[in-house]
Amino acid sequence: MYRERWVRLQKKMRDKGIDAFLATQNVDIYYLTGSMQTGYAFVPAAGDPALFVRRSVTRAMTEAKTDVVPLASLRTFASELSARYPALFAAGSVTLATEFDVLPVQAYMRLQSAFPGVTWTDGSLLIRETRMIKSAPELKLIRQAAAVIDTAFEAGVAALHEGMTELELMAAIEHSIRRKGHLGLMRMRGYNQELITGMVGAGAAAALPTYFDGPAGGEGLSAAAPQSSGRRRIGRGEPILIDIGCCIEGYVIDQTRTAVIGELPDDLASAYEQAEQVLRRTEERLKPGTICEDLYAAALKQVKEAGLSDHFMGYGSDQVKFLGHGIGLEIDELPVLAKSFTYPLEPGIVIAIEPKFTFPGRGVVGIENSYAITENGYEQLTRSREGLIRLP
């Protein structure tokens, strides 16, 4: 499995004339080596990679699928690489790629100082496109996460009642998934983007905009965490958005369902039905070769015909410009179902599709499923019951 990852990344490097890739971010290091210990994963364009570790070398040696090399300090890193890959560095002109999208400027400047004469280039897309295609073991873990989140969703619905707070509902869900192996975090790559377990909110609170790059914000517990569940009590006749994820052995699932105690107003119920229709129409085109931006364009056309464009994926200036996103080790992976993303779907891609409608002062309705693209179409990974969940 790991060798297949190295080979795919190495091919991308050779196609672009890059000599090696240096992974600095925890998730990328884990993906390439099987360990998340502090250090750097070095992948040459030809030959075997190695994990250079500052801490903990002992643990890395039990986890990593690559050779583990103790790294005394950044000052010695260049000489240690030269000793391990003499042919690569003997050429005198080396181009190294690394993750410009997540590497702090200060850390990058230190690397530049440690490797004088090396040409650095952005390798963000190299690693993200490599990770975009999931292997069978990765899909197995995402399926496990989907099974856990289904159980947690039902636990939340069973606990849901009028007058409970959003936080109490979220706590019931989190209690269930933590006991079944949820890591307790959902990793994101986007700068300054954070995610708890998801976005669980009701009524006007769910429609509050926030910094999080999604169609529903949530009140949160304070300005220090201005998203997801707050202490507002859930009332009758308002949409309850249960947008939750789970992380099993690093791999995430993403799912949304909408519930209501009693009945929704007719226009909100109609908007929910439209969200399901967008999802069904999108599913019809989930097959290899379909261009990602075309799925988004088709959804925009569909909601415009339904007269709901102003509410699709947010409201006003807070609307987000996508229909779905890749998932895997991070919740915001490639590809994105959005304008200018011209990736064709191919087997192994896993995407979450989340048509939602936001009504300021009233709430958010919608649905989200996660799918794996297969040779002939797709496999739906999320398994929770669909339809508007009505509670007496």
Please check whether residues 207 and 355 belong to one and the same domain: yes
Nearest CA to 283 out of 378, 368, 374 is that of 378
Q: Which domain holds residue 91?
A: 2-130
Taken in order 51, 56, 57, 60, the sign of the CA dihedral is negative
Last residue in a domain, options 112, 130, 148:
130
Average pLDDT, integer, range 306-323 = 97
State residue 39's pLDDT score. Answer: 97
State residue 270's pLDDT score. Answer: 98
State residue 33's pLDDT score. Answer: 98
**Alpha carbons 97 and 24: distance in angstroms, whole number:** 11
State residue 274's pLDDT score. Answer: 98
Q: What is the DSSP letter of 135?
A: P
Instruction: List the end-to-end C-alpha distance of the chain, in Å, as a whole number.
Output: 49
Please check whether residues 344 and 199 belong to one and the same domain: yes
**Percentage of the chain surpassing pLDDT 70?**
100
pLDDT digits (tens, 9 = 90+) for 122-139: 999 999 999 999 999 999
pTM for this predicted structure = 0.97
Q: Which residue has the higher pLDDT, 385 or 213?
A: 385
Q: Is residue 117 predicted with pLDDT exceeding 90?
A: no
The total of structural domains in the chain comes to: 2
Query: Domain with 298 in it: what CATH number?
Result: 3.90.230.10
Please check whether residues 271 and 143 belong to one and the same domain: yes
Indicate the pLDDT class of residue 31, thresholds 50, 70 and 90.
Answer: very high
pLDDT digits (tens, 9 = 90+) for 58-69: 999 999 999 999
Average pLDDT, integer, range 54-83 = 95
**Alpha carbons 82 and 66: distance in angstroms, whole number:** 18
Please check whether residues 119 and 208 belong to one and the same domain: no
Last residue in a domain, options 91, 113, 130:
130
Please check whether residues 157 and 62 belong to one and the same domain: no
Please check whether residues 321 and 296 belong to one and the same domain: yes
β-bridge pairing 50-55 and 38-44: antiparallel
Please check whether residues 212 and 339 belong to one and the same domain: yes
Average pLDDT, integer, range 280-286 = 98
Please check whether residues 180 and 118 belong to one and the same domain: no
Please check whether residues 215 and 306 belong to one and the same domain: yes
Please check whether residues 52 and 163 belong to one and the same domain: no
Please check whether residues 365 and 387 belong to one and the same domain: yes
Query: Domain with 47 in it: what CATH number?
Result: 3.40.350.10
Q: Is residue 91 predicted with pLDDT exceeding 80?
A: no
**Alpha carbons 181 and 34: distance in angstroms, whole number:** 19
Average pLDDT of the residues of the chain: 97
Indicate the pLDDT class of residue 45, thresholds 50, 70 and 90.
Answer: very high
Indicate the pLDDT class of residue 221, thresholds 50, 70 and 90.
Answer: very high
Last residue in a domain, options 105, 130, 155:
130
Average pLDDT, integer, range 64-91 = 93
Please check whether residues 238 and 283 belong to one and the same domain: yes
**Alpha carbons 322 and 336: distance in angstroms, whole number:** 7
Average pLDDT, integer, range 29-35 = 98
